């Protein structure tokens, strides 16, 4: 038997000897990871990261959307408070019920179009303000009050140095309150009026600063500024529905649109905002609804209150009131006043106001449907629709008042007419042994004893020749009314029977009314409403829209990362406190 030679000790330790040493094995793990193993690890890691990061990203998204909701809420609240304060302190608010704005939008196919939208603008006259400096560093020898001028918030001229403002100033209304020379206008308009609309309702949702939606503006301007307002036949056109988008050249070389953009300041957020919602009709035309609106309050069936019920204490007969007042003034056009009378038909108006084909406000007889008095025409030129009117009253929509006090044509007697009165008096006295020196009032040629037209007590003023001997004899003086018909008037006195319009003078047979001088004149007013008492009387009610109370609706639509609007809506009824009727 043969045996192989033994290998030397350590021979299997060489790399070459490893082939001959079966007991020696190399570890596969010492060579690294396989591709499959790496892909498995990456996949598992991605799943774990996704599971961990998704809630975190979702939390960030929810937080951002919540912040937008809070921003919309705060913007609406701050804007409503700011607008409310300014309207409350206004001296006058212009009627915006018929002053719609032209808003450029797009139709369903994306084509540009213009829609007329009401209540998207309001003009008001602010009170005149005086600025006051509260700074401790204000010089003692300089006044703390200084004019506001044309600036919205001018700095104090005595503590303003090196271009640094002084915020320790306040604006104080001048008392008594008087209107300023400027107008404040709130309106919604495109963020960039020179570019087309690309807001949330256009089909391309807002995308940051690239979107051109509607924002709220505040502008303060002078009503005779030729760089902002076009010149019309009657002066500057204040209410131009296209004022913010007018590309015509103004006198300063800029467009009217650019000039308006320069004086208008955005109220609230600017980016990712659109203050209109847009729906489409069946023809694809847009229906635009602004989410910021200034709506005058509508009042229905407001019972008017009489302001006075005669002056019996002064010896005048009880008479119906001449003036009735509504709860609010500053009526917009389109109001209606109704007169009710207790004639066995409760709830039925006897007369009411309406607009005729010429736009005049007229009084309609409910029984016949005929116009019996043209209010607009009478206020314009003093003429009557009917020479024997059954009902007459005037309406002051600014004050919210209905007035039955209608001045009649004065009775004027020349000296030769006075001589005729004297002659008739003496002739009657010679026949009867007693007579009265009188004249009779016949307004509109009516016999007052058989007419609904009555003289208003307290309105009669008589100017006649002075009966007192002396240098003033015959010159015209105002006569004094004797309250009782049982009392005989003396020189420079008169009495009147309000039922038939008879005026009595001094009836002493040995005296004559002076026939020289300026003659005699009687001024008086009449009314056609009935007596005001429990058994018989007139009641008035009115439907109207008042600018004295504005409903301000503010909603901000701010778009989130999904291009969905986060909206917060607020509203307030704002009373114009400085308006005095």
**Using an 8 Å Cβ cutoff, are 269 and 285 in contact?**
no
pLDDT at 96: 86
SS3 category, 381: helix
Chain length of the chain = 581
Of residues 59 and 400, more confidently modeled: 400
* Residue-wise burial string across 389-407, b where 16 or more C-beta atoms lie within 10 A, e elsewhere: bbbbbbbebebbbbbbbbe
Nearest Cα neighbor of 260 from 293, 218, 291, 224 is 218
Please give the share of the chain, as a percent, with pLDDT higher than 90: 44
Same domain, 393 and 540: yes
Nearest Cα neighbor of 76 from 572, 574, 573 is 572
Nearest Cα neighbor of 398 from 297, 326, 477, 341 is 326
Nearest Cα neighbor of 577 from 91, 205, 104, 23 is 91
Q: Which DSSP state fits 272?
A: T
Token output for 2: 């043969």
Cα R_g (the chain), whole angstroms = 43
Q: How far apart are CA 546 and CA 332, in angstroms?
A: 6
With a cut of 50, say whether residue 32 has pLDDT above it. Answer: yes
pLDDT, mean over the chain:
83
Most confident of 11-20, 282-291, 526-535: 282-291
Tell me the mean pLDDT in the region 130-155. Answer: 83
Q: How many domains does the chain have?
A: 3
Per the domain annotation, does 576 fall within a domain?
Answer: no
Q: How far apart are CA 419 and CA 31, in angstroms?
A: 145
Q: How far apart are CA 482 and CA 460, in angstroms?
A: 12
* Residue-wise burial string across 22-49, b where 16 or more C-beta atoms lie within 10 A, e elsewhere: eeeeeeeeeeeeeeeeeeeeeeeeeeee
Give, in degrees to the nearest 5, the angle at Cα 399 between 396 and 403.
45
Per the domain annotation, does 141 fall within a domain?
Answer: yes
Q: Predicted confidence band at 468 (pLDDT cuts at 50, 70, 90)? A: very high
Per the domain annotation, does 84 fall within a domain?
Answer: no
Tell me the mean pLDDT in the region 186-203. Answer: 82
Tell me the mean pLDDT in the region 290-295. Answer: 93
What digits encode the pLDDT tens for the residues 87-96?
988 988 898 8
SS3 category, 389: coil
Same domain, 267 and 398: no
Same domain, 305 and 354: yes
Same domain, 285 and 350: no
pLDDT at 207: 41
Token output for 219: 């502008």
With a cut of 80, say whether residue 311 has pLDDT above it. Answer: no
Same domain, 99 and 198: yes
By mean pLDDT, which of 250-259, 280-289, 549-558 is the weakest?
Answer: 549-558
Q: How far apart are CA 285 and CA 108, in angstroms?
A: 7
Q: Which residues contact 190 (CB under 8 A, 6 or more apart)?
A: 104, 197, 212, 213, 214, 215, 244, 245
Q: Predicted confidence band at 543 (pLDDT cuts at 50, 70, 90)? A: very high
Nearest Cα neighbor of 513 from 481, 496, 480, 490 is 490
SS3 content of the chain, % helix, strand, coil (to 5): 20, 30, 50
Most confident of 50-64, 76-90, 232-246: 232-246
* Measured CA distances, 483 to 84, 154, 330, 436, 486 (Å): 53, 62, 39, 17, 9
pTM passes above 0.85: no
Of residues 524 and 345, more confidently modeled: 524
What digits encode the pLDDT tens for the residues 124-138?
999 888 888 888 888
Domain boundary among 264, 295, 326: 295
Domain boundary among 264, 280, 295: 295
Of residues 349 and 490, more confidently modeled: 490
With a cut of 90, say whether residue 295 has pLDDT above it. Answer: yes
With a cut of 70, say whether residue 560 has pLDDT above it. Answer: no
Q: How far apart are CA 259 and CA 149, in angstroms?
A: 20
Per the domain annotation, does 72 fall within a domain?
Answer: no
The position carrying tokens 């005086």 is 130
With a cut of 60, say whether residue 314 has pLDDT above it. Answer: no
Q: Predicted confidence band at 8 (pLDDT cuts at 50, 70, 90)? A: low
pLDDT at 348: 78
pLDDT at 208: 44
Q: How far apart are CA 532 and CA 91, in angstroms?
A: 35
SS3 category, 395: strand
Same domain, 376 and 430: no
The CA dihedral of 382, 386, 392, 395, to the nearest 10 degrees, is -50
Cis peptide before 176 (omega within 30 of 0): yes
Q: How far apart are CA 395 and CA 379, in angstroms?
A: 10
Per the domain annotation, does 42 fall within a domain?
Answer: no
Q: In which domain, by residue range, is 424 found?
A: 411-527
Per the domain annotation, does 389 fall within a domain?
Answer: yes
Count of CB atoms within 10 A of residue 3's CB? 5
pLDDT at 149: 73
Q: How far apart are CA 477 and CA 463, in angstroms?
A: 5
Same domain, 290 and 305: no
Token output for 406: 């209608």
The position carrying tokens 């020349």 is 414
**Using an 8 Å Cβ cutoff, are 275 and 214 in contact?**
yes
Same domain, 108 and 230: yes
* Measured CA distances, 141 to 137, 156, 169, 386 (Å): 12, 14, 18, 70
pLDDT at 163: 55
Most confident of 98-112, 141-155, 303-317: 98-112
Of residues 295 and 174, more confidently modeled: 295
Nearest Cα neighbor of 186 from 215, 213, 217 is 217
**Using an 8 Å Cβ cutoff, are 103 and 338 in contact?**
no
With a cut of 70, say whether residue 59 has pLDDT above it. Answer: no
By mean pLDDT, which of 370-374, 409-413, 554-558 is the weakest?
Answer: 554-558
Same domain, 301 and 361: yes
Of residues 161 and 9, more confidently modeled: 161
**Using an 8 Å Cβ cutoff, are 237 and 248 in contact?**
no
With a cut of 80, say whether residue 496 has pLDDT above it. Answer: yes
With a cut of 60, say whether residue 252 has pLDDT above it. Answer: yes
* Stretch (H or E) spanning 88: helix 35-88
Largest interatomic CA distance in the chain = 198
Nearest Cα neighbor of 296 from 19, 14, 546 is 546
Tell me the mean pLDDT in the region 191-218. Answer: 73
Per the domain annotation, does 577 fall within a domain?
Answer: no
pLDDT at 67: 63
Q: Which DSSP state fits 154?
A: P
Same domain, 379 and 508: no
Same domain, 143 and 252: yes
DSSP string, 305-316: EES----GGGTP
Per the domain annotation, does 75 fall within a domain?
Answer: no
Tell me the mean pLDDT in the region 471-491. Answer: 89
Same domain, 311 and 375: yes
Edge-to-edge strands, sheet with 411-413: 411-413, 520-523, 461-465, 476-478
Q: How far apart are CA 343 and CA 325, in angstroms?
A: 23
pLDDT at 205: 42
**Using an 8 Å Cβ cutoff, are 255 and 247 in contact?**
yes
pLDDT at 161: 63
Of residues 30 and 291, more confidently modeled: 291
């Amino acid at each position: 038997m043969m045996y192989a030679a033994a290998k030397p000790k350590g021979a299997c330790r060489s790399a070459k000897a490893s082939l001959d040493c079966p007991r020696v094995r190399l570890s596969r793990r010492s060579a690294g990871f396989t591709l499959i193993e790496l892909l498995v690890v990456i996949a598992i890691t991605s799943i774990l990261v996704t599971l961990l990061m998704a809630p975190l990203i979702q939390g960030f998204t929810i937080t951002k959307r919540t912040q937008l909701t809070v921003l919309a809420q705060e913007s609406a609240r701050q804007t409503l408070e700011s607008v409310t304060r300014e309207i409350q302190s206004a001296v006058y608010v212009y009627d915006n019920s018929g002053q719609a704005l032209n808003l450029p939008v797009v139709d369903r196919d994306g084509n540009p179009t213009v829609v007329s939208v009401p209540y998207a603008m309001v003009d008001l006259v602010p009170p005149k303000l005086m600025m006051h400096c509260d700074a401790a560093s204000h010089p003692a020898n300089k006044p703390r009050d200084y004019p506001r001028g044309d600036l919205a918030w001018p700095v104090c001229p005595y503590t303003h140095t090196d271009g640094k403002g002084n915020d320790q100033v306040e604006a104080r209304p001048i008392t008594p309150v008087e209107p300023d020379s400027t107008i404040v206008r709130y309106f919604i308009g495109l963020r960039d009026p020179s570019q087309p609309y690309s807001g949330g309702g256009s089909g391309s949702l807002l995308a940051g600063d690239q979107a051109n939606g509607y924002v709220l503006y505040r502008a303060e301007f002078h009503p005779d500024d030729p760089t902002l307002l076009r010149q019309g036949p009657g002066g500057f056109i204040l209410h131009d529905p296209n004022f913010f988008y007018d590309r015509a050249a103004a006198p300063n070389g800029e467009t009217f649109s650019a000039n308006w953009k320069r004086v208008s300041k955005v109220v609230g957020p600017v980016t990712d905002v659109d203050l209109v919602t847009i729906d489409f009709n069946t023809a694809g035309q847009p229906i635009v609804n602004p989410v910021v609106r200034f709506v005058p309050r509508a009042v229905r069936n407001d019972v008017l209150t009489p302001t006075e019920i005669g002056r019996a204490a002064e010896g005048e007969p009880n008479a119906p009131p001449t003036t009735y007042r509504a709860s609010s003034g500053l009526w917009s056009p389109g109001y209606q006043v109704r007169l009710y009378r207790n004639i066995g038909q409760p709830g039925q108006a006897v007369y009411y106001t309406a607009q005729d084909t010429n736009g005049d406000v007229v009084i309609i007889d409910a029984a016949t449907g005929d116009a019996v008095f043209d209010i607009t025409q009478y206020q314009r030129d003093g003429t009557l629709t009917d020479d024997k009117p059954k009902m007459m009253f005037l309406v002051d929509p600014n004050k919210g008042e209905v007035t039955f006090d209608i001045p009649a044509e004065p009775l004027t007697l020349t000296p030769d007419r006075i001589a005729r009165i004297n002659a008739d008096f003496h002739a009657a006295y010679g026949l009867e042994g007693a007579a009265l020196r009188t004249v009779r009032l016949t307004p509109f040629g009516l016999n007052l004893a058989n007419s609904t037209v009555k003289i208003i007590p307290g309105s009669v003023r008589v100017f006649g020749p002075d009966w007192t001997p002396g240098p003033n004899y015959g010159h015209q003086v105002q006569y004094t009314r004797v309250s009782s018909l049982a009392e005989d008037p003396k020189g420079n006195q008169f009495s009147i029977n309000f039922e038939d319009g008879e005026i009595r003078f001094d009836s002493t047979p040995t005296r004559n009314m002076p026939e020289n001088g300026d003659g005699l004149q009687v001024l008086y007013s009449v009314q056609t409403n009935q007596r005001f008492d429990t058994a018989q009387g007139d009641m008035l009610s009115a439907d109207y829209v008042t600018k004295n109370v504005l409903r301000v609706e503010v909603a901000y639509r701010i778009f989130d990362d999904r291009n969905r609007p986060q909206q917060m809506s607020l509203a307030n009824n704002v009373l114009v406190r400085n308006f005095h009727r």
